[in-house]
Structure 1
Amino acid sequence: MSHHDPEENLNDSANEHFNEVLDRARLSRRNLIRGGVGLAALSSIPFLAACGGGGGSNATPPPVPGTPAEKALGFAAIDKSLLDDVVLPAGYTYRVVHATGDRLVSSIAAYSNTGAEADEWTMRVGDHHDGMDLFYVDGAGNYSPTETPRALLVMNHESSADAHFFHANGQTSGGVSGKKFSQFDSWDLGLRPELEVLKEINHHGVSVAEVGKNGAGQWEYKLDSIYNRRVTGQSPMRIAGPAAHLGDIHSFMVTAHDTSGATSRGTLNNCGHGKTPWGTYLACEENWAAYFFMPGGSVDVDAKTKASRQRYGVMRAPHAGATAGSQGWSHTATAATDDRFGRWDVSAPGATAAQDFRNEPNTFGYIVEIDPVVSGTPTKRVALGRFAHEAAVCALPVAGQPLAFYMGCDSRNEYIYKFVSAAVWDASDVGGGMAAGNKYLDEGKLYVAKFNDTGDGEWIELNIANPLISGYATYVFANQADVLVNARHAADAVGGTKMDRPEWGAVNPANGEVYFTMTNSNAASRPVAGTDAANPRSYADNDGRNQSGNPNGHIIRFKETAGVSTATSFTWDIFLFGAEEDAGADINLSGLTAKNDFSSPDGLWFSKATGICWIQTDDGAYTDQSNCMLLAAIPGAVGDGGPITVNNSLGGASGTQDTFIGAALGEARLRRFMVSPRGAEVTGITESADGRAIFVNIQHPGENTPALGAGPFVFQSQWPGNSTSAAYGPLGRPRSATIVITRTDGGVIGV
């Protein structure tokens, strides 16, 4: 469950890669040119028009009324850093808002940072701060779309890869303590202490904390606010979906906990997020598949269950006695009356699904809607599909038109998806809470993206009526509910285009174009012969981390035809390529310099106040030269660059690959703004309405700290307790934290 190298490729479908369609594209263009087709005719070809080949279709779209025009970057780029602290440009400062373990109520003790706490995580800030957003509350206690003195900071808590920090002597199994869970060869070593398991389950999920300015004008969180609360790995959840298929959906969720399948428990590994136009929060369940366990000797229920689990990485192999990836949450001494531990055992000892937890994996992998203002039951929105969700970003809402939500599936060779609501947008639904969610997120169409050889693409609906789905031999779909619950198989069936780890998405408020980060890949997934237009590089990073394939990643963007949410076609290019500044022109395709080079883009977000595109990194390739970072970019528009050919070389193989790149940004339009402490990922960002404060999450500092052995921890990082400028909390074990960045002159951030 490494953050830098997540689960392996689980997509064994025969769907073509871009290299296959590009071979046809190259042939078509050359034949046209050799045949004497004029430039005027060439400009009408979507592939060339999108990449600056002429014609009106490559013109920059006019700004959407009411959105800001692009502004120049107004700070001096900072150098790379290996310091164990947050580094910012001159004129900027930061302070910690809250960190892992901070109490939300005064009735429990302040966090000790020694692993001594009992299971109080239902009222402590969770761990691995990730996607987040800010929600304003008006004087009547309702959601406000405009700035007020009261605000709620809502955020995801992704993983427990550092759970050894929560226990005094590290994690324990069968009397053995001091290791990370991933270092145990098998949890069959023995039972785990219940207290450890409860703490690990409950620090997952989502935190809601009221924030505001203190008497000195500094942002801080409010202890004992009526809005402070946690959603954890045990919180009750409602299962919702299209009315016509809801009964079938619930049949997939039947467990001994709820034999109707209408409810489930908990949310796990919430990574990127979304914010709805009506004012609710969307938590995205990403690497949820690795928490389940099957005792030695048990087998899958049936071939179809096995096929589903394999496609999602649940107990992937071996299926008899598999233990890989499990945290041992089902291995405790006591069988709790509510099966809080037993539910992680997904074998099938009962006669039916209503007598065991064989279906428990089916209850994870969704977009989870939460109303930050009203403390109610969160809802899993099945209509948006089940996969490794990484962000759910809404297109610019237009009155009288359906809403579109864009989602990535964060694994190698997975897909980009879009959900289009059946209901059309009505601004009177702002503040409508979960009722509005029922209106817009339960009825609609789910699509997967296919990128064509002409430089445009199409959205293919995932519907059981499609013969490619109803007749799919690899996985036999029973009904439309099955399509939604097994969306990865459905995307395989219709020929969605395999992409390279689609992570965060973001929508440019100036023109509605959609951006997605392709974080990185390895040599096995991206050899020279396996490159394609969307993933065009295959190379070796011969210094430092010595990684190969596409270790530095890139960012793709596309625009919908006519700019409407219901479009079933689009055009695309690659906005930026990550690279080391001295990597050579065939790798450093975006011409990065020492002031803006980066690797492994992950988090992505646009400021509504300034139009800046903020890029956050989660890097394991470039960390010999710099910790992870935050960069600011002036975005431009699809088609502002042109086609290029990449020369690849790796492991004795060489070849060329055509692709399409945006206009070079240079240091004037792309600058490094922040560098994180050691071992941390920079992820999650939002801003105050006036743009004078941005909130950024520093996740898992000290991630590579060795687990306890014979002696004490040897810390890779001790941030934030050791910060020279903003020390926070007890010194010792590192903690994920949210920081707020402001300008010393009180100005707008970044410009």
Structure 2
Amino acid sequence: MIDDENCNTSANRSLLDVLDARLSRRNAMRVGLGTAGAAVLTACGGGGVAAADDAPASDRSLRLSFEAVAKNTADRVTVPAGYTAEVLYAKGDPLDDATPEFRNDGSDTGFEMRAGDHHDGMEFYGLDPGGTRPDRSGSTRGILAVNHEAFNDQFLHPAGATPNPRPVAEADKEIPAVGLSFVEVRQRGRGFEYVRTSDYNRRVTPLTPMRIHGPARGSALMKTKFSAAGTDCRGTINNCGTGTTPWGTFLTGEENWAGYFARSATDNTPRGGSTANSVVSLNRYGCTQGSTSRHGWETAGAGDRFARWNISQTGASADGTDDYRNELNTFGWIVEADPYDGTQALRKRTALGRFAHESAAFGIPVAGRPLAVYMGDDSRGEYIYKFVSEAGWRADDATPANRLTTGDRYLDAGKLFVAQFDEDGSGRWIELSIANAAIAGYAAYRFADQADVLVNARLAADAVGATKMDRPEWCAVHPVSGEIYYTLTHNNNRKVTPVGSTQMAVDSANPRSYTDAPTAATSPGNVNGHIVRLKESGGDGAATVFTWDIYLFGAESGADAGKVNLSRLTADQDFSSPDGLWFSPKTGTLFIRTDDGAYEDVTNCMMLLGRPGQVGDGAPEVLQYTKADGSTVRVQTHVGAIPTPDTLRRFLVGPVGCEITGTCETPDGRALFVNIQHPGKGIRRGASTDPASDLSHWPGNAGYGAGGATARPRSATIVITRDDGGRIGVDGDQVLNDL
């Protein structure tokens, strides 16, 4: 989900500040406006002959086997010829027999047992053929764990949302429309169907009771009227990326949650003034004095379920146990759930730090060694993080008797690190510890203890001089090499000549600033985003140094190759605003999904499949810019190998106005699940509040659900299979055996 929050006003240096003055001179800066041909919709060939078994391919290269899908603006999902895409599970679908069919006219209620809106990150958890027990190799039956990040209120109600004060009935419908869902799916023919009556089906909403775990459990910063002990909380919101643990549980990230809360225009005063710790923290996390909430739930009534969304200090207590002044601190975490067992309370894992979490990707487990979890903070100028467990991995924990208790062992104690990048292609992980003198003596915020460091991880990262990045979103780890990939989706505040505290200079890891596209025709920035990758020293997830390069630069194929299209993308590969990332454990294919506004005049958002190389397979390049005062700025970056048609192709284009989000597959690699989020976007796209005039009517126009050709658009999960039964995207029936 695009969020232009920018709360990092720290003076942390950019890589430009330490650039070697002896860098060789190369390309002079040229501002090029990208070009693209007329969008067309073509049927693309592909597919191979499926092998009879799971034997590795004799050729040790991983070959992409489909014909690239052309860019297009059609209101449908386009996949290559030889593939079939079907809608599986859409917003409002009932999860039990007691909930009526979804009418999709704004009158529906009961989202406590309906699919939520804005399908985002997603994971598959296998079941045995009878659906009676977990089977992590099961491919004909399983549980989809789905994030529901947000909702479109103009489609949730008959005539859009009522302005503040919000009616109780509208707020009570909206609140459970976000969160998580767990839904059983089973094979039907080549495709899949969801099981409406499954005992595994359940919803997790902003009202679901949860437990706080890790170092911040019981902290003074976590105490609220709901939990005076600071050990419990309610719900999860704005869930974006996901992850799967080595012991078989689901991780979900809470991203861009600050906008759900309101503060009074005078709230700084009772908190102790503008320099008080709580005020500094609230400002850094995007909830300044006088902030209004995204949905106005705090205005719906006096009930506690509404009052909690007003985080002003209204009580008389010294510790916040008589109001919700600390409620914001109970959000912004990685949350762990057992997809197979709905009787256990979800855990908020505070050892992993608090920020706008996207996904959580584990490094490759090694017996006896700590586990590494990689994470990004999705806001402009924020940071890349890593958690390293205190406990070493035990192989028998892959199939534990109690999965969440196993999570306690690995996720409640360890070290949190933040990344700092150098211009020579090296980098370091800096521990965020109260023992670090830069944190303990930080003048802008007075940290009390390690729990405070984790609750205010952004401030701790400011203190140690972490590198500001261009909106770190999803991360993914290659299942063989262990190299870590991060999407940096875009940043319109990346400048050659920064002005003010919120703009950032170009640097080696974020080297581009240019004008292009409808969203940046006159204001330069990193319009199209890029993907950075890291290699830990010695391949050890606990290492404190790494090397890095940029795997791909997003760009239009016609853009200036010397300044913008540094990866030399062709029309079959070009993309903008990379967001989601996921590696197939079966084939090692990298799936890249986009959430874009800069290329929507030419194409809807898309998914590409890539064959990854490795850090250092390309070469350094130097970009040269002219600053406003006429002086020259030269920036060295590190560009990965130029992709070929065999290593990167467009696989899918979504319907109008959508974002392509969560991706997962059955363990045999023969069925791919993909989430299509917020098709149409309604008012955000400039359409009328009348749903019939919206820019998208998918998936109703594809024959799914009520409404037909003029249906209100719905977020949905689709399932993609290959018509010959082979594995997705690769030649024949390959399995992973090489990079």
Fold equivalence (TM over 0.5): yes
State the partner residue of 1:268. Answer: 237
Q: 1:341-377 CA deviation, whole Å, 9 max, x = no partner?
A: 0001111111121110001001000000000001121
CA contact (8 A) 2:191 2:719 kept: no
CA deviation profile, 1:222-249 (whole Å, cap 9, x unmatched): 011000001101100100003xx643x3
Does the 8 Å CA contact 2:552/2:640 hold for their aligned counterparts? Answer: yes
Note the residue ranges of structure 1 that are not aligned, 5 or more in a row: 32-64, 174-189
TM, length-normalised to structure 1: 0.87
Residues 710 and 420 (structure 1), Cα distance of their counterparts in 2 relative to 1, 3 Å cut: closer
Following the alignment from structure 1 to structure 2, what is the Cα–Cα distance between the partners of residues 67 and 574?
Answer: 31
1:541 is matched by which residue type in structure 2? Answer: D
Distance 1:600 1:542, change over 3 A: closer
Query: Structure 2: how far apart are the matches of 1:85 and 1:446?
Result: 42
Taking the aligned partners of 2:346 and 2:167, their CA distance within structure 1 comes to 29
* Contact 2:368/2:392 (<8 A) preserved: yes
Offset at 1:9? 1.9
CA distance in 2, matches of 1:709, 1:450: 46
Contact between 1:69 and 1:510, CA under 8 Å: does it hold in 2?
no
Q: Shift in Å at residue 745 of structure 1? A: 1.2
1:470-524 deviations in whole A, cap 9, x for unaligned? 10010100111100100000011111111110000000112000000000011x3
**TM-aligned CA distance change 1:708 to 1:234, over 3 Å:** farther
Higher relative contact order (Cα pairs below 8 Å, separated by 6+ residues):
2
Query: Equivalents in 2 of 1:111, 1:140: separation in Å?
Result: 26
Instruction: Provide the residue aligned with 1:90 in structure 2.
Output: 81
TM-score with structure 2 setting the length: 0.88
Match for residue 309 of structure 1?
282
2:478 maps to 1:508: yes
Alignment of 1:266-415 (within 5 A): 266-299=235-268, 301-302=271-272, 303-314=276-287, 316=288, 319=289, 321-323=290-292, 325-332=293-300, 334-336=301-303, 339-352=304-317, 353-375=320-342, 376-415=344-383
Looking at structure 2, the residues matched to 389 and 467 of structure 1 have their Cα atoms a distance apart, in angstroms, of 26
1:609-657 deviation per Cα after TM superposition (whole angstroms, max 9, x unaligned): 2111110000010100000000011100000011011244798977432
Given candidates 181, 189, 193, the residue that maps to 1:220 is 193
The answer to whether 1:590 aligns with 2:558 is no
CA distance in 2, matches of 1:267, 1:694: 27
2:432 alignment partner, one of 462, 487, 494: 462
Counterpart contact for 2:252–2:335, Cα < 8 Å: yes
Q: Deviations over 1:167-211 (max 9, x none)?
A: 1110002xxxxxxxxxxxxxxxx4211111122111111110001
Is residue 107 from structure 1 mapped to residue 98 from structure 2 by the alignment?
yes
Shift of residue 430, structure 1, vs aligned partner: 2.1
Select which of 635, 641, 646 maps to 2:612.
635
Partner-residue secondary structure (3-state), 2:305:
coil
How many equivalent pairs are there?
678
SS of the residue corresponding to residue 211 of structure 1 reads strand
* Letter matched to residue 354 of structure 2: R
Match of 2:513 among 505, 516, 538: 538
SS at match of 2:579: strand
- Check if 1:14 corresponds to 2:11: yes
Letter in structure 1 aligned against 2:16: N
Q: How far off its partner does 1:548 sit?
A: 3.1
Q: In 2, distance between residues paired with 1:479 and 1:383?
A: 13
> What per-residue deviation string (whole Å, max 9, x for no partner) do you get for residues 546-601 of structure 1?
36311100000010000011111100000000001111112111111111110000
CA contact (8 A) 1:648 1:656 kept: yes
| Amino acid in structure 2 at the alignment position of 1:400 | G
Which secondary structure state, in structure 1, belongs to the residue aligned with residue 170 of structure 2? Answer: helix
Q: 2:687–2:694: 8 Å Cα contact kept in structure 1?
A: no
Structure 1 residues 508 and 253, CA gap change in structure 2 (3 angstroms): same
8 Å contact 2:426–2:546 — kept in the other structure?
A: yes
SS of structure 2 residue aligned to 1:126: coil
Instruction: Say yes or no: does 1:734 pair with 2:708.
Output: no
How much does 1:296 deviate? 4.7
The aligned runs of 1:325-724 (5 Å cut-off) are 325-332=293-300, 334-336=301-303, 339-352=304-317, 353-375=320-342, 376-432=344-400, 433-522=403-492, 524-527=493-496, 530-541=505-516, 546=521, 548-585=524-561, 586-648=563-625, 655-705=633-683, 713-723=692-702
Q: Considering only aligned residues, what root-mean-square deviation do their CA atoms show, in Å?
A: 2.2
Q: AA paired with 2:679?
A: P
Q: Which residue of 1 aligns with 2:224?
A: 255
Runs of 4+ that moved beyond 6 A: 65-68, 649-654, 706-710
Q: Distance in 2 between matches of 1:711 and 1:699?
A: 20
Q: CA deviation at 1:297?
A: 4.4
Equivalence for 2:43? none
Aligned to 1:204: 178
- Quickly say closer, same or farther: Cα 1:649–1:96, change in 2 above 3 A: farther
Counterpart Cα distance in 2 of 1:507 and 1:66: 22
Q: What is the distance in 2 between the residues matched to 1:447 and 1:281?
A: 22
CA contact (8 A) 1:387 1:409 kept: yes
Deviations 1:236-283 (A, max 9, x none): 0100003xx643x3x211111111111000100000111000000001
2: CA distance, partners of 1:70 / 1:358: 56
* Cα distance change on mapping 1:148 and 1:667 into 2, 3 Å: closer
- 1:164 aligns with 154
Q: 1:13-46: per-residue Cα shift (whole Å, max 9, x none)?
A: 111111112x2x343x679xxxxxxxxxxxxxxx
Per-residue deviation, residues 44-89 of structure 1 (Å, max 9, x unmatched): xxxxxxxxxxxxxxxxxxxxx9999541110011110100000111
Tell me if structure 2 keeps the 8 A contact 1:695–1:741: yes
Q: Describe the shift of the 1:83–1:356 C-alpha distance in structure 2 as closer, same or farther (beyond 3 A).
A: same
What is the CA deviation profile of residues 90-114 of structure 1, one whole-angstrom value per residue up to 9, with x for unaligned ones?
1111001100111100111011101
In 2, Cα distance between equivalents of 1:68 and 1:425:
33
1:133 aligned onto 2:91: no
* Matched position secondary structure for 2:6: coil
Gaps of 5+ in 2: 26-55, 499-504, 731-739
| 1:538 counterpart letter in structure 2 | S
Cα 1:104–1:415 shift into 2, 3 Å: same
Contact 1:68 1:510 in 2 (8 A): no
Q: What's the secondary structure of 1:171's corresponding residue?
A: coil
